[in-house]
Structure 1
Amino acid sequence: MTPPTVALIRERLDVAYARISDDDRGAAEGVDSQHEEIDEDAEEAGRPIGARYTDNSISAWNGSERADYQRLLRDAAQGMVASVRVTAADRLCRDVREGLDLVDTFNAHEVRLFSVARGEYNLRRAQGRADFIADINIANKESGIKSERVTLARKRQARTGAYGGGIRRFGWGVPTGRVRSKCLNPKAPLDEREYVDVPVLDMGKPRADEADEIRRWATELLATRGNMAQLLAGINARGVLTVSQADGRILRRGGREVEHSGWNEKTVRRILTAPRISGHAVHQGQIIKWNAWPAILPEETRQALITLLDDPARVTTPGNTPKWLISKSRGAMCGQCDQDGMVTVRHNSKGPVYRCDTCNKGNQLAPLVDEYVGAVACERLSRPDLAELITPPRPDIDVTALREAMTAFQQKKTESSLAYARGSIDLEMLETVKAEADRQISTIRGQLAEAAADSPLVDFLGASTEQAAAKVWGSKSIGERREIVRLLMDVVVLKGDPYRLDPDTLVITPKRAPKAVSPE
């Protein structure tokens, strides 16, 4: 029943208010049950309910806006309400200040307050007001104790490396071979509940197929300098399922079923940079146990990804996802103009063609050019001297020492915050310590990125034939192929036949290995 408007009111009504903090299914079963109890209590008291106010799935003590509660107060202030009936005091409020304000409003406008659990609170008498506030405090205390118990339990679970429950994380959850019974409609009457068997998963072990996918993401992002748009295009092209899609979960918002939205940059970024991906246990945003589980990505790779994805120089503006090997950003040069033009792909009557973005000359068919450039790349990738093009890893970087140093600086930030809270240091000193720690952490992340940034050419070292190189080439995304071409060669496009490819119109210059610097 919807609360009446002022225009329709002719006499003051006895009204009911119901609220539940968490309605996962959106079926309003909790508030409906409260209204049934209130209706029965009101009928027995001879004061039938004339209007209902309901706030479903809204907490009374986390600052959430309760629309019907506010409407109830407004209607009471306008003289529309004779009495309010609830199942218990904490349905109205769990904050003492809010409770006192409600008492003032109800007393000012002669509104009586009834509870199914206690009867009438005589708000005009000290004892009635004390009983109401005491019941609010008891509910507040019980909620606080429960919250503290849950927090401590979650912290213990994190410290021991135990899974804390919730939705399965992408990359984790290996079937154990056991099953458990799950109720599909736990709030239904006992004789109407439905059960299904679901597999029991070991959430401390990486799921092989999803872990491999995560490693592929990391490799591609490091190889393509953080090209997230290209990565997402590849994920969608391969038909990679999210956890909800893979596990057949039904998503609901506001009680209504909604479609799975698929992958996005925020989700991929969160997976790749979360401490859990390197096997660390986290509680309230802080790592409290290192190496609690097997790592999917090494810590140095995770730090390299954090550095890369936080780099302001990384291109993040939306645009067309590249589909061609040598267009613009990985660019081939135009060989027909003197303005250092670069070729990009345009469409004409012949299809997609490479054309100079400055002089508009060229018009070479893009599919044929890409096929030829790819063949040249595979031939180069199959040579035994490929290793000379690969920048060797930094042997001077001690990854373990850097990780320990980063942990020490993070601990220093925590200790300085505690010192400030105790009054041992002032705000200026706190900000100085944190700024220096952040600077050092940023430097360490940069060094870790250098240690983890493998060349995309590494996977071709075992390909001794063009056929073997072509097989590896075929497994790479277009973003990785574009980066490989950039590392292998410079391409200049001349004017050619608009209907076939003439290799002589593509000037390809192989890149040479950097000369070693001899020690003095």
Structure 2
Amino acid sequence: MPPTLIDETDRINADYARVSDDDRGAAEGVESQHSDNEEFGEEIGRPLAATYQDNSLSAFSGRERPEFQRLLADIARGLIAVVIVWHADRLTRDVREALDIIKLFRAHNVRLYSVQKGGEYNLNRASGRADFIADINQAEKESGHKGERVSLARKRQARTGQHGGGIRRFGWGVPTGRVRSKCLNPKAPLDERVYVDVPVLDMTKHRQDEAAEIRIWAKELLAHGNMAQLMRGIRERGVKTVSEADERKVKRGGKIVDHGGWDAKTITRIVTGPRVSGHAVYKGEIIKADAYPAILPEETRQALIALLSDPARVTTPGNTPKWLISKSTGGSCGQCSAGGMITVRHNSKGPVYRCEVCHKGNQLAPLVDEYVASVAVERLSRSDLVELIKPPRPEVDLAALRADVIELRRRKKEAGLSYARGRIDLETLETVKADTDQQIAKLRAVIAEATAASPLVDFLDTDSVEAAAAVWGTLSVGRRREIVRVLMDVTVLKGDPYELDPDTIRIVPRARHQPRAVSLD
């Protein structure tokens, strides 16, 4: 059944005016449109009784236009007889929305006039509707050209260090105190759209908590290079992703799904991306260096690139270490004449340290770790801790070293292809591979030495055992293992199966800058 209409003599004539960008904020554009609309209304015998104006709001972005929504609501209530606009695109630049407007105007017998057209769009006739849609189509085409101009503007913004909008990056986005209106369902019919206020963020500034987390990631990775240990620490600290922190809904295939949480690929992208060092990026290319305050220094980012892009790294998680002592941290057996190293095994008592050769020791791992940690914390609280930290690393061109490694890997690959094509024999291939592998190993050793961060630096400002213990409590197991490896050699003897006797744990401090074994786990 058609809606009940109020007699046209009881309804009013109104105009609608809108401009997308009002840089000066003076609303001169909408006032100018209104003056022309008002004059046109007098000419056609339809004097205006009301005006609806949206200033500096686009008709093509799905953003809420309060006065436009009020106009549509008044039309639906049967209060409007005539609408005058300066041009059809003042109402909309979206053909689909234009069809909704036609349907609404026809349902409530509202007549539409355009100053630029010089007359009426007769929406009750196919020709009038076609004219209206044609003008909207032209406006949509012009919006496409505008999109190209916007793309160029985004590039200029990136070059000058300005943020062009979009989903915020982890570590960035400080609330400005302002809000903007956002449509939650822009594809819905006009009268069913829902709008919410969302905060306006300054994307050139750090979120201090997230920036601090990124620095922890960098420190952990450079200390032990174990992504699995880092991920475990992130889970234990309850670090939220951007989607979780901002309560964003994640959709796949149009359906809302659970947040996947952190993964190694995301962590790598964040700590190695140019943005983390303050560089402005457009389509993956740095177009302005040092555009923003850096979260990580550029040399740290380059070190992480060298570390995380090394194909020799083991990328499968394996067993994430849970205990402080292992053969890689220098744990040895005090009972074994064969020089066995201790590892953690499980028996009826629980996890125990025992020799991998003679299988002696069998000391409860939690008790041993507690004792070793107490010794480590006491040493870390001393004022002479700085003497254990190796001198500053020499300046190294990490980018050049990385490029050399990549080039050597390319040569090795080419040698393999040459062998497959019969151009070289197997002996030559093996010689080339052995030579390049040796050179790559030397380069990696230089990179590792240059990028290694001392795990002791976090304790330089602690002046008591309590303060050192507090810092120790914030560290991951991987970080603690590195500290133990730097500070001491641990020898485990046979002891009481249920209680710890400190005399059965021999701890020998390492000499300053003494070389240590390379971790293989």
Query: TM-score normalised to the size of structure 1?
Result: 0.61
CA 1:490–1:265: 2 relative to 1, 3 Å: same
Q: What secondary structure does 2:489 align onto?
A: strand
Q: Distance in 2 between matches of 1:231 and 1:318?
A: 11
1:486 is aligned to 2:494: no
Corresponding letter in the other structure for 1:153: A
CA distance in 2, matches of 1:163, 1:471: 39
Aligned to 2:241: 242
Aligned residues: 349
Distance 1:507 1:158 in 2: 58
Alpha-carbon distance in 2 for matches of 1:332, 1:302: 33
Cα deviation, residue 151, structure 1: 3.8
Alpha-carbon deviation of 1:463? Answer: 2.2
The aligned counterpart of 2:270 is: 271
The 1:209–1:443 alpha-carbon spacing in structure 2 relative to 1, beyond 3 Å, is farther
Q: How does 1:461-476 map to 2 (within 5 A)?
A: 461-476=460-475
Are residues 205 and 269 of structure 1, via their aligned partners in 2, closer, same or farther at CA, if it must alter by over 3 Å? same
Other structure's SS at 2:165 match: coil
Deviation for aligned residue 1:389: 1.3
Equivalent residue, structure 1, for 2:189:
189
Which secondary structure state, in structure 1, belongs to the residue aligned with residue 385 of structure 2?
A: helix
Runs of 4+ more than 4 Å apart:
141-148, 402-406, 442-452
Match for residue 167 of structure 1? Answer: 167
Q: Which residue of 2 aligns with 1:371?
A: 370
SS state at 1:186 partner = coil
Q: Which amino acid aligns with 1:210?
A: E
- In the alignment, what sits opposite 1:205? 205
CA distance in 2, matches of 1:403, 1:207: 29
Sort the Cα spacing of 1:321 and 1:449 in 2 relative to 1 into closer, same or farther, 3 A: closer
Change in Cα spacing, 1:301 to 1:386, as seen in structure 2 (3 Å) is: same
Whether the 8 Å CA contact 2:179–2:200 is kept in 1: the answer is: yes
| Match in the other structure for 1:351 | 350
Aligned counterpart, 2:19: none
Structure 2, gaps ≥5 residues long: 1-95, 101-128, 131-137, 405-440, 515-521
Asked whether the 8 Å contact 1:278–1:297 carries over to 2, the reply is yes
Q: CA-to-partner distance for each residue in 1:49-69, whole Å, 9 max, x for gaps?
A: xxxxxxxxxxxxxxxxxxxxx
1:209-263 Cα deviation digits (max 9, x unpaired)? 1000001111111111x11100000001111000000001111111111111000
2:447 and 2:390 map into 1 onto residues whose CA distance is: 16
* Deviation for aligned residue 1:326: 0.6
Per the TM alignment, residue 185 of structure 1 is displaced from its structure 2 partner at its CA by 1.0
Deviation (angstroms), 1:150 = 4.8
Matched residue, 1:215:
215
1:341 Cα deviation (Å)?
A: 2.4
Identity %: 71
Q: 1:403 to 1:497 in 2, by over 3 A?
A: closer
User: 5 Å matches for 1:489-504?
Assistant: 489-504=488-503
1:326-376: per-residue Cα shift (whole Å, max 9, x none)?
A: 134324112222333222222222111112223322211011000000011
User: In 1, are the aligned partners of 2:377 and 2:472 still within 8 Å (CA)?
Assistant: yes
CA contact (8 A) 2:306 2:398 kept: no
Paired residue secondary structure (1:513): coil
* Distance of aligned partners of 1:404 and 1:149 in 2 relative to their CA distance in 1, 3 Å threshold: farther
SS of corresponding position for 1:363: strand
Aligned AA (2:204): G
C-alpha distance in 1 between matches for 2:351 and 2:372: 16
Structure 1 pair 338–312 and aligned structure 2 pair: CA distance change class (3 A): farther
CA distance in 1, matches of 2:254, 2:466: 55
**Which whole-Å CA distance do the structure 2 matches of 1:271 and 1:255 have between them?**
27
Structure 1, unmatched stretches of 5+, are: 1-32, 38-115, 118-137, 410-441, 516-520
CA distance, structure 1, for counterparts of residue 442 and residue 248 of structure 2: 42
Q: Provide the secondary structure at the position in 2 that maps to 1:302.
A: helix
Distance 1:177 1:446, change over 3 A: farther
Distance in 1 separating the partners of 2:447 and 2:292? 21
Aligned to 1:282: 281
Structure number with bigger Rg: 2
Equivalent-residue separation in structure 1 for 2:446 and 2:326 (angstroms):
31
* Counterpart contact for 2:302–2:399, Cα < 8 Å: no
1:119-138, aligned counterparts within 5 Å?
A: none
Tell me, in whole angstroms, the C-alpha distance in 1 between the residues paired with 2:340 and 2:348.
23
Contact 1:223 1:483 in 2 (8 A): yes
Distance in 2 (alpha carbons) for counterparts of 1:345 and 1:446: 29
Report the 3-state secondary structure (helix = DSSP H, G, I; strand = E; otherwise coil) of the residue aligned with 1:392.
coil
